[in-house]
Amino acid sequence: MDYRIIYVGAQAVYGILFLTLFMLRRINERVGRPDKLDALYALFILTIVLDAIWMYIDGIPSLRAANIILEVVDISAVALASYLWFLYMLDFLPVKETALYKHRFLLSIPMYTQLLLIVTSVWTGLIFTVDEGGTYIRGPIHTYIVVVNYLYMLLGSFAALRSRREALLTMDRNRYTAAALFPIPVLLFSLTQMMLPPGFPGIQGGVLVSLLVLYGILQNTRVTQDHLTGLPNRFAFEQDLLGRIRRQQAGAETRLFLLEGDLDKFKHINDTHGHPVGDLALSEGAQALNQVFSDRGAAVFRTGGDEFMMIAESEEGIDLDALQKALNEKLKEVAASHGIELSMTLGMKEYDGKMSLREFIAEVDQQLYAAKDVEPQASATVA
């Protein structure tokens, strides 16, 4: 059997799938300028084309020079792709304050070392050689390239796992988990390629599986995101709250609090200033909410209109008066530059261990309605 036909056929399938995934991402995510993930797609499509060509020129003496050039470009593309994945992870995850992000240029040194070794292998043969018969042969330190490439992917996984540990939202934890697992299919497919006869291209298949999983997670995130404010929407809220309720019923050690708020006199803002200003008020209000609550370890959702829900878990009580004061100070600050006034009334309810999702939401609704009728100075501390 001519394994070259199988190999090239498999690469053709991979190439079509890579191109399809690339186009779907560009269309569905409305990506603007090409980013690091686009470059990653391009590099792997390049390796697919080069690998297919290599299958037919390897071992042909008259094409030795072409084989050398092909190997330099192909191995360099894989090295660049691994480093680009690591950089994409730093952009994809909220880790910009970590040592990884601060030292990303220092961490690029192994990648540049790889490129230097690959190019100079034309003369040194350290990474690869192409003998007089035109056949590719791995060099004595070829393993260095493989190890560094996997280290970059593992660094990305480390950043993803750290972000997962700090994430407030279930959907964020899911996508960080998917990102952290990226190297596993690549490693499994690579091992499979080593164990099977020639004809099974492994690395590209592993990368394709990983990118498909990540794409699915990202699309799910888009479905659960409010487009005006960027906050998770009602669907995400209910899924997140349901998961936390189940943990409470299973005996979680922390206490679960649900808060609801809506912008005061929001209809007046729309009627007086128009809906564009109303949208601005919602957007600015959402950012203020997110800043105040996320600083206190709570997740924020826009569940409809000017209505927002916040979920907090704490071993101690929550001082609602202090929280509302901090929120309204922030809202006043962000609204002043736009010539409008923003404030929000909050209601809060602690989960009692028995309520259903709907009952819990209905209870906090009642707390919000009651809060709108009480004096602002009334105490609402849950201890």
- Give the pLDDT of residue 347: 92
Alpha helices in 139-274 (DSSP H): 142-166, 170-180, 183-195, 203-223, 234-249, 266-273
pTM for the model: 0.76
The answer to whether 242 and 301 are in contact (CB under 8 A) is no
Whole-angstrom Cα distance, residue 254 to residue 100? Answer: 32
pLDDT for the residue numbered 44:
87
Output the furthest CA–CA distance in the chain (Å, rounded).
Answer: 90
Task: Sketch the domain layout of the chain as residue ranges.
Answer: 3-223, 234-382
pLDDT value at residue 221: 75
Q: Which stretches does DSSP call E strand in the chain?
A: 128-130, 136-138, 255-263, 299-304, 307-314, 318-319, 344-350, 381-382
Quick one: how far is CA 112 from the chain centroid?
26
Q: Does domain 3-223 have CATH number 1.10.150?
A: no
Superfamily of domain 234-382: Reverse transcriptase/Diguanylate cyclase domain (3.30.70.270)
Q: What local confidence, expressed as pLDDT, does residue 69 receive?
A: 96
Give pLDDT, residue 301. 94
CA distances from 355 to 141, 211, 352, 359, 360 (A): 62, 40, 7, 6, 6
Task: Tell me the C-alpha distance between 361 and 367, whole Å.
Answer: 10
CB 157 within 8 A of CB 183: yes
Q: Which residues of the chain are under the pLDDT cut of 70?
A: 1-2, 29-32, 95-98, 194, 196-201, 374-383
pLDDT at 29: 66
